[in-house]
Structure 1
Amino acid sequence: MGSLSLETKKLQSRSGGFVSSPTLLCAPLVGATVDQMLVDMRRAKEIGSDIVEIRLDCLRSFNPASDLQTLIKRSPLPTLVTCRPIWEGGQYEGDEIKRQNALRLAMEFGADYIDVELQVAHDFISSIHGKKPGKFKVIVSSHNFHNTPSSETIGNLVASIQATGADIAKIVTTALDITDCARIFQITVHSHIPVIGIVMGERGLISRLLSPKFGGYLTYAALETGAISAPGQPTAKDLLELYNFRLIRPDTKVYGIIGKPVGHSKSPLLFNSAFKSVGLNAVYMHFLVDDVEKFFNTYSSPDFASGCSCTIPHKEAALKCMDEIDPIAKKIGAINNIVSRPDGTLIAFNTDYIGAITAIEDGLRELYGATPGGASPLAGKLFVVMGAGGAGKSLAYGAAQKGARVVVSNRTFERAVDLAAKVGGKAIPLSEVGEFHPEEGMVLANATSVGMKPKVDETPIPKHALKHYCLVFDAIYTPKDTRLLREAKETGAAIVYGTEMLIRQGFEQYQNFTGLPAPQELFRQLMQKHA
């Protein structure tokens, strides 16, 4: 498939005029009792949902006549009624005639929408011909729990749904790769009838978040983390507060962080809050990327990948996708910041080394005071870097530039040797770092993933070895207080948190993305609040 074109058609609201966010936010109700669903309806309204989906198949017991009337009449929001059979991923295993009778009854009681499966849609819609209330709409859905088919197959599926007489087509697929979402975006934009297009799974998250950009009729968001009705479904709170869902429009620029894993990153919190604070029409999200080259080949429009942060394991692999690389980033051999120019060409930077090295320098100044003549406090220091990946390269290069004597250790010794040679340093095996202490007052920087959530009890170096260091830095920021930093503090070393690197490199990225100075105080407040 070619790259995603973002020359989207002008989207109209239900009343015919342009709106900021044309996509409805639907909260699925998956409670086991009618009473629980009534409670959840009120919560959905409080949170800011536009509509609730009543999942009849989730009810442990169900009396169609009384329960439907109660749920529909007492709902503070418009209602979408579904009774998903087990053969389409739901929980209903009963009689098919009774199931469809319940859906027809929901229509009679005033439901705003019914969701019925493509397999039975033609007969169901025929059975209500001439009986539909004016505002009532039928959603005809198709679920694929295995993959996301080709654009042609999805297009034929929408045509089949349209042929049933559906008012709205709902296409739900499964993401094997983040680029699968592009095919759903294309269908949503170009379909002749309203479309709900969703790609399930973490790799499909952007299909839900960007529904307003591509004219999706509605998207689903759970009331809480434990109440999702499909894989990869975000919470309404995250959708509205973290991703500023209501502000997303067809012309909204899309930024994000490329990584694997990536869901732990706090970058969307920082950047979306910053964008909102200055009124920028932009959104920043998590991109779970397996193949970085495939990602950029698919999402090549400057309106989509307007700018990307780049984290493990793509900081080096992404280099080959760039049209231009900042000279310093080229020397380091790793990038973490990518900007798309108006013509679609990509230029890459490395802001990691700025963030990490300035944080370490400030830590040393607090320890020893200012250096004479404004020289770097790293000058002459023995600087031990654990890890020779993207972050390790940034630290080694940055420390060498400041005059430190660099020692590189890595699990794969050959990589340590290669990096050490590039920065004029020395290489030692990672297994020997614990016994390496040719002098006192060294600086240690961890650029490995050892100690990162969920393996928070691990540490890359024995505690007894830390007494030889005056300062220890850990690039990990989830958790903030790693075991390495806790033990370093106990041995008397000064410590520098990975959050400092994250915040400071974020300042540089924000400026590269927007051309504006970063709201530094806002970034710090957010990191402190959400540490």
Structure 2
Amino acid sequence: MACKNGLLVCTPLECATLEEMLASMGRAKAEGADLVELCVDSIPFSHISEVKKLIRQRTLPAIVSFRLKSWRTSGKGDCEFLCLQVLRLGLELDVEFVEMDYEMASDIAMAEHLYRREKSKIIVSSYVNGGKPSSEKLGDLIARMQSTGADVIKLVIDVDYITDLAPLFQMLTYCQSIGAVNTIVRRPIDGKLIGYNTDCEASITAIEDALRGYSQVVCMGSKYKLHQYLGKLEHSLLEALRAYECGARLLQEAAEVLFKAGSRAIQIVHRYQSSLKRSRRIRNGFCLDTDPSVLVPLIAIAVGSRGLISQLLGPKFGGFLVYGSLEGKSIPGLPTLVSLKQVYKLEYINSDTKVFGLISNPVGHSKGPILHNPAFRYTGYNGIYVPMLVDDIKEFFETYTGTDFAGFSVGIPHKEAAVGCCDEVHPLAKSIGAVNTIVRRPIDGKLIGYNTDCEASITAIEDALRANTSVINGEASLPSPISGKTFVLVGAGGAGRALAFGAKSRGARVVVFNRKYALLFNMKMKSLSSNPRLLFEKERAKSLAHAVAGEALPYEYLDRFRSENRMILANASAIGMEPNSDQTPISKEALRAYELVFDAVYTPRNTRLLQEAAEVGATVLQKISYASLFWNNSDSKYSSSQGKIYGYRSVGTGMLCLRFYNVSWNTFIGLSIERPSPSPALSLIK
């Protein structure tokens, strides 16, 4: 049922009818789900017997849940009573898991459920929203949730930024090994966070003192003092159970004393029966046994598009299960079940897995995971490549400092800002002023920045032009076919800078058309000075043109610009990218002046710009930004640090040709970087 690493993949089912729920369960089974979450609150049932039918007809192991927040929002009436009815039914029918909200996990409800169940396990869940959650806040909440006696606990967190996920990963890593954390120390040697629980020793001492006092009072026969010590013992026991780290023998002894003391104490013992079984002995103060059989598994979910990696990296940090949605039923923050099973292959992910990803905004268009994850598995490298929706790249690197976050592709709009985040920048990237690949050097954790867009894109353009003139793949002795041509560039961002510098190095005349420059061209400086952002955009286009000895023109001039025939057009802007795939930077008629059209947009693959360019007879070329992988010479030796990657290149009018390359993984896996000579780098898919 579970993956090789013990991870479960669960599909949440929110359906309008019972029939739809059963049909969706069948789809989830076909797509490879290990279990499903039956969100009973989404079904407008009139009688509990309908829920009974659903549970009995399940075709997969299931979590039966009744979300109070969802039910209250719908205004359907008394939810607490109905929730308890549904949960009791799940226990009676021996469903695999029953999930209840933390606010419903009261003493009475939990005691009843703990004694009614035979095969079912109880998940206690809590929804956290309202600002960035701190490690301290989450640690305290987890400790309180564990004290309910739950078999599994679940946190659902609403995050605004990807950096808000860091405390969640910390809790997954440390709270599952010791139950609860109240002290976290960053180890200087490697920067890792080490969690401790200093409540444990204090709790043990308090219980021992209370038990000693109780024994003495019993011998003396003093009823007054007996009551006093029972009160102390009860308080110490409750504190110890909340801390969750006291020795099992002491807790059991204290529980037996309270059990004999009266009905109120009996309720306390029943309430924490499950806790007693899971408690562990302390060894040497802070050293705790971490027998997996006594751990309380944690499920962690971050809601929203920035929370996607909470699921993709769940198995690395110790998550009990991850969620994947059905194909065609996307849920913000959840990957699809198909992608989990076919692209990310989470069964191969463990605590030693290195994390790589695309830092961009937007990031949904990324094809990087489709290339890199199979390539990691092919080469036997323990890594995972994930999309990372980042708003502030500086804050991102300040938050994720661990060496396990080992390498990054950098996309729109962070390529220029990424330069300032690196400890070292490759000379080419520094001269361009943009970075598209960052590697964390394992030996010291420093961030090293590179730019592979430049050589990769320009070489692809050269090869396509040479193919048109029947020259076999560019002999080194021949001059560049770009030399002397007019290179028209749309966009002055990071990708545009790389293309401009590459074209200049080949002897082309570069003309920059920045879309935002059209608005600025006729504005007075007084207006510009009141809008620093607009002024920045104008200066960026002009400074790029100056750096490559070219010129910057307003975007509105693009359709009329024709300095010569057989020019080269490169779109390095986001024009034409999904969801605006109907847009194009230039009219179809104006494309007749171009010999070759290059588009850096790769979602959709065949953009409107490329379609219209092919229709008027131009050679079209799409950038398949296949990340910072270096293309070795044909005589390079194949080694364990190299893999074979398929990449698409367009050659000839409107044609897409599949070519086979040996590529070195040296950049991404942090080994020494081989400078390809004379063949340049093949750009990495982002």
Taking structure 1 as the reference length, the TM-score comes to: 0.88
Which residue of 402, 413, 437 maps to 1:337?
A: 437
Farther-moved stretch of structure 1 (477-486 vs 31-40): 31-40
Aligned residue type for 1:41: M
Deviations 1:461-501 (A, max 9, x none): 233322222111111111222222222223322211233xx
| C-alpha separation in 2, matches of 1:295 and 1:57 | 37
| C-alpha separation in 1, matches of 2:155 and 2:560 | 59
Shift of 1:418: 0.7
After TM superposition, the runs of 4+ consecutive aligned structure 1 residues lying more than 4 A away are 87-92, 522-528
Aligned residue type for 1:125: M
1:235 maps to 336
2:486 maps to 382
Which residue of 254, 273, 277 maps to 2:378?
A: 277
Deviations 1:478-528 (A, max 9, x none): 1222222222223322211233xx24x5543999xx983342337789998
Unaligned runs of at least 5 residues, structure 1: 1-12
Aligned residue type for 1:242: V
1:317 maps to 417
**CA contact 2:602–2:623 (8 Å) conserved in 1:** yes
Partner of 1:306, secondary structure, is: strand
| C-alpha separation in 2, matches of 1:428 and 1:300 | 42
Q: 1:452 to 1:243 in 2, by over 3 A?
A: same
Aligned residue type for 1:63: H
Which residue of 20, 36, 45 maps to 2:20?
A: 36
| C-alpha separation in 1, matches of 2:98 and 2:359 | 38
1:110 maps to 94
1:255 maps to 356
Count of residues in correspondence between the two structures: 503
Pairing 1:187–2:290 present: no
Q: 1:493 to 1:510 in 2, by over 3 A?
A: same
Q: Which has the larger radius of gyration?
A: 2
Shift of 1:315: 0.2
Taking structure 2 as the reference length, the TM-score comes to: 0.69
Deviations 1:319-354 (A, max 9, x none): 111011111111111011111111211111111112
Q: 1:72 to 1:88 in 2, by over 3 A?
A: closer
1:292 maps to 393
| C-alpha separation in 2, matches of 1:406 and 1:336 | 21
Farther-moved stretch of structure 1 (362-371 vs 344-353): 362-371
Q: 1:171 to 1:272 in 2, by over 3 A?
A: same
1:452 maps to 577
2:315 maps to 212
Aligned residue type for 2:329: G
2:302 maps to 199
**CA contact 2:10–2:321 (8 Å) conserved in 1:** yes
| C-alpha separation in 2, matches of 1:331 and 1:377 | 23
| C-alpha separation in 1, matches of 2:499 and 2:550 | 12
Which residue of 56, 69, 82 maps to 1:73?
A: 56
| C-alpha separation in 2, matches of 1:493 and 1:523 | 18
Deviations 1:350-376 (A, max 9, x none): 111122111111121122233783221
| C-alpha separation in 2, matches of 1:478 and 1:217 | 34
1:468 maps to 593
Unaligned runs of at least 5 residues, structure 2: 180-295, 518-537, 634-638, 651-655, 659-684
| C-alpha separation in 2, matches of 1:107 and 1:510 | 61
Shift of 1:92: 7.7
2:609 maps to 484
Partner of 2:329, secondary structure, is: helix
**CA contact 1:271–1:510 (8 Å) conserved in 2:** no
Partner of 2:154, secondary structure, is: strand
Q: 1:44 to 1:527 in 2, by over 3 A?
A: farther
Pairing 1:124–2:109 present: yes
Aligned residue type for 1:508: F
Percent identity (aligned): 44
Farther-moved stretch of structure 1 (50-59 vs 481-490): 481-490
Farther-moved stretch of structure 1 (28-37 vs 311-320): 28-37
| C-alpha separation in 1, matches of 2:459 and 2:590 | 25
Deviations 1:396-450 (A, max 9, x none): 1001111212222223343222112212222222222222222222111111112
Pairing 1:508–2:630 present: yes
| C-alpha separation in 2, matches of 1:100 and 1:510 | 64
1:9 maps to none
Which residue of 503, 523, 539 maps to 1:414?
A: 539
Deviations 1:245-267 (A, max 9, x none): 22111111111000000111111
Farther-moved stretch of structure 1 (202-211 vs 237-246): 237-246
| C-alpha separation in 2, matches of 1:353 and 1:28 | 44
**CA contact 2:159–2:165 (8 Å) conserved in 1:** yes
Q: 1:238 to 1:111 in 2, by over 3 A?
A: same
Aligned residue type for 1:460: P
Partner of 1:314, secondary structure, is: coil
Shift of 1:89: 7.5
Q: 1:270 to 1:227 in 2, by over 3 A?
A: closer
| C-alpha separation in 2, matches of 1:278 and 1:240 | 19
Q: 1:323 to 1:506 in 2, by over 3 A?
A: closer
| C-alpha separation in 2, matches of 1:282 and 1:160 | 35
| C-alpha separation in 1, matches of 2:16 and 2:311 | 25
Q: What's the C-alpha RMSD, in Å, of the aligned pairs?
A: 2.7
Aligned residue type for 2:493: G
